[in-house]
Amino acid sequence: MYEKNTVGVVVPAYNEEGFVGEVIETLPSFVDRAYVIDDCSTDGTWGEIRAAAERVNADVDADAPYQDRVSPLQHDHNRGVGGAIKTGYKHALADGIDVVAVMGGDGQMRPEDLPCYLDPIVAGEADYTKGNRLLNREFRRGMPSWRLFGNWILTFLTKVASGYWRTMDPQNGYTAISKEALEAIDVDRMYEGYGYCNDLLVRLNVAGLRVGDVPRAANYGDETSSIRYHTYIPRVSAMLLRDFLWRLRVKYLVRRFHPLALLYGIGSVTTSVGAVSLLRSILRRRSESGSNAGRTLSSALLLVVGWIGLVLAMVFDLRENADLERQFEE
């Protein structure tokens, strides 16, 4: 236990042979139960998980709350990292675990940092904590430039979609969440691909839960990422658009009315119409025509008005969610 709270760790693993065993065996002693999910790997990951689990479980004290400290789980088909985490979350809920962390099976998340994610939750300061590798230049040094660029793009898109405007690095998978928060977000409906962490932030916001950023240095070790950003960013962007529209409808139209929903709608339509109209005017290349110049000016004005509406909506959104965000010290 940790500060009188039971602690679970979900470890998703796909083709992590040579890494996942060490992750299991280096979990801090206060971790009550680890849910290690083999997402239908094609290498020796499952065998390594079972062997490490057997070694760890053999040393469990007789008075421990869970005799099987490590619970090996295996999917019969590949569901993605989000699907593996969903499986772990559901087992942790069934076991009544108070705080559930996520640590990747690739060994990139240092086990000694786990208390930094647990402390804000057990202290009642946050419902969900996540790592942030973008807070300072030193932390960003270990991140390849192409990955950093993709991260900045998805950070902005996730801010808009989730309403957590001060939260950064939403792709960071080192997280912890309270049992109450897990019960509130409808785990079964979580996104199952790599964008699960972005989707989860939107669900946390709709539930009115507090999110905290924990500074964390980038650490990639010997593992190579399997994310392909040229397909990952468009796919996650489409998911975030759906989530954004869902959040506006549920939080600002169904549960209570807030004008920011209208500002987002009017601003988006006006910006789109203005942009298309301005592009058409430019392509016609008749700037010498007074009538066309007038249309160009009207289109530009429409575009500016649309942008103003969107900015106002974002400002309202930021203020509405300011109390739900925390930034913790290094």
Indicate which CATH number applies to the domain containing 33: 3.90.550.10
Query: Are 270 and 145 members of one domain?
Result: no
Band of the pLDDT at 259, cuts 50, 70, 90?
very high
Query: Are 36 and 82 members of one domain?
Result: yes
In a domain, 250, yes or no: no
Query: Are 82 and 145 members of one domain?
Result: yes
In a domain, 146, yes or no: yes
Band of the pLDDT at 286, cuts 50, 70, 90?
low
The parent domain of residue 270 ranges over: 258-321
In a domain, 330, yes or no: no
DSSP string over 186-227? -GGGS--STTHHHHHHHHHHHTT--EEEEE-----TT-----
Lowest mean pLDDT among 29-43, 46-60, 70-84, 273-287: 273-287
Grouping H, G, I as helix, E, B as strand and the rest as coil, residue 267 is helix
Query: Are 193 and 282 members of one domain?
Result: no
| Torsion angle in degrees (nearest 10) through CA of 175, 161, 327, 131 | 30
Query: Are 268 and 171 members of one domain?
Result: no
What confidence score (pLDDT) does residue 316 get? Answer: 95
- Domain final position from 179, 206, 227: 227
Query: Are 288 and 159 members of one domain?
Result: no
- Range 213-234 average pLDDT: 68
Query: Are 119 and 170 members of one domain?
Result: yes
Average per-residue pLDDT for the chain: 89
- Range 321-326 average pLDDT: 94
Q: Please tell me the distance from the alpha carbon of residue 260 to that of residue 156, in angstroms, as a whole number.
A: 18
Q: Which two tokens stand for residue 77?
A: 């088909």
Higher pLDDT, 290 or 323: 323
pLDDT tens track for 194-206 = 899 999 999 999 9
Lowest mean pLDDT among 5-19, 50-64, 78-92, 260-274: 50-64
In a domain, 217, yes or no: yes
Residue 220 scores a pLDDT above 60: no
In a domain, 328, yes or no: no
Residue 243 scores a pLDDT above 70: yes
Residue 184 scores a pLDDT above 80: yes
**pTM more than 0.85:** yes
Lowest mean pLDDT among 22-36, 110-124, 190-204, 209-223: 209-223
In a domain, 241, yes or no: no
Band of the pLDDT at 146, cuts 50, 70, 90?
low
Q: Counting every residue, how long is the chain? A: 330
- For 169, counting Cβ atoms within 10 Å of its Cβ (0-12 exposed, 13-18 middle, 19+ buried), the class is buried
For the chain, the farthest-separated pair of C-alpha atoms sits apart, in whole angstroms, at 88
DSSP string over 48-114? HHHHHHHHHHTT--TTSS-S-SEEEEE-SS---HHHHHHHHHHHHHHHT-SEEEE--TTS-S-GGGH
Residue 52 scores a pLDDT above 90: yes
Residue 329 scores a pLDDT above 90: no
What confidence score (pLDDT) does residue 65 get? Answer: 77
Query: Are 74 and 187 members of one domain?
Result: yes
What confidence score (pLDDT) does residue 330 get? Answer: 64
In a domain, 107, yes or no: yes
The listed range with the strongest mean pLDDT (129-138, 228-237, 317-326) is: 317-326
Our count of domains for the chain comes to 2
Count of beta carbons in the 10 Å neighbourhood of residue 104:
20
What confidence score (pLDDT) does residue 231 get? Answer: 74
Query: Are 143 and 194 members of one domain?
Result: yes
What confidence score (pLDDT) does residue 61 get? Answer: 80
What confidence score (pLDDT) does residue 317 get? Answer: 96
Q: Which two tokens stand for residue 72?
A: 């090996």
